[in-house]
Structure 1
Amino acid sequence: MDEVKEKLLPDSFCSIVISDFTVKKKEINVTALTIDKMTNNGWIYCGEIIFNQRNKAIAPFGYPYAYVINHTNQYMLNFRRPSEDES
């Protein structure tokens, strides 16, 4: 994050394409964690765009024992580097 921030001019934008996922049968909300890390590092969160991957194959994971989510979307998280006045 610091390397990107150093290379971008004040008032520039940074977009991150990311997806939530499952690790060791536990859902990880990577989107929220990324927003927290970026805003704690001085970036201004500007919203998200959701990409629904309708052509992505889904599978009945966990069937018949448990329901397991299929991750069929990605998020583009948009941030702005603060201007020098805002820093």
Structure 2
Amino acid sequence: MSSPEQTSEKQTHGFQAEVRELLKLMIHSLYSHREIFLRELISNASDANDRLRFAAIASPELLAKDPELEIRVEADPAAGTMTIRDNGIGM
């Protein structure tokens, strides 16, 4: 039980994560094959484009600047990275 004299102070704690390790954990824990992880990212990009396309039916101005919906897969062998980009609505 708390008395009226007690006050609780807000505490903020920092959170840091090693992105490379998180991705490794996700790839190896959630998916049995690496390709499935990549397929999931591309599927998410496609969903984001679908959301924009459907939203643009009611609000065509959403596509005024960039009417072409895209999913780009860019590999950088030197950096050992692959980037998935879309111009849809989403995360």
More helix per residue: 1 or 2? Answer: 2
What range is the shorter-chain TM-score in? 0.3 to 0.5
The TM-score, its normalising length taken from structure 1, stands at 0.35
Pick the structure with greater CA Rg: 2
Q: Which structure would you say has the larger RCO, counting Cα contacts within 8 Å and 6 or more residues apart?
A: 1
